[in-house]
Amino acid sequence: MHTLLLLHGAIGSKKQLEPLRTILSSRYDIHTLDFSGHGGRDLPEEAFSIPLFATDVLRYMEEQKLKRVSIFGYSMGGYVGMYLAKHHSEAVDKIATLATKYYWDESVAAKEQQMLDPQKIEIKVPAFAQTLKERHGPQDWKRVLGKTAEMMLDLGQTNTLQLQDYKDIAQPSLIMLGDRDKMVSLDETRDVYNSLPNAQLVILPNTAHPIEQVDAEMLSYFLKLFLE
């Protein structure tokens, strides 16, 4: 049975991928994990970073005795998956991403950081603040947001993966973007797709950025086509 690892996005948790896991579990050996500091896991002393989260994946694979997996990564999870495909190619069979922001500079990072202000979230979207509190408890969700904002600013200074890095990723890749995604541009997605040696590009109709607004049945359909 094909082994598939599902990776969540920034300030998210593995629970958000349960609908997809449920659909795919009869066909694949599905694994999920929470990145450091997410979903109630202890907050690390070091800064959040793509390499840190990639190490989480490698440690999980070692614990589960998984030598090679295919990866589906949503948003930041897709970036982590691409980092692994680039720097630990022996561990990655195929890689699929959805709504992954590949392009970072200072202005992009500053814009994303503003969306992670805990005080503004509590005032403007208190229901989301409560969701974050429950998602990351017993850890302090405000610290999770703070460390995520710092990571984004670091990405704005030095993008962990440059466009030329994708040319070295030989694994079959499926790059997906929702047609209504307001966070990730078609241009940056297409640039990465064109740089990958062995890639497919899918635009999901009527699909915004939040994973909760993605049609899990439609997403699973394209994943099955790609994996098989």
Share of the chain above pLDDT 90, in %: 99
Q: Are 1 and 28 in contact (CB under 8 A)?
A: yes
Dump pLDDT digits (tens) for 159-186: 999 999 999 999 999 999 999 999 999 9
Domains of the chain, first to last: 3-103+161-227 (3.40.50.1820)
> Residues of 134-172 as b/e, b for ≥16 C-beta within 10 angstroms?
ebbeebebbebbbbbbbbbebbbeebbbeeebbeebebb
Dump pLDDT digits (tens) for 119-155: 999 999 999 999 999 999 999 999 999 999 999 999 9
69 closest CA partner among 41, 32, 25? 32
Q: What pLDDT was estimated at residue 74?
A: 98
With a cut of 80, say whether residue 53 has pLDDT above it.
yes
**What is the value of pTM for the model shown?**
0.97
Q: What pLDDT was estimated at residue 1?
A: 74
Which whole number is the average pLDDT over 199-215?
97
The whole-chain average pLDDT of the chain stands at 97
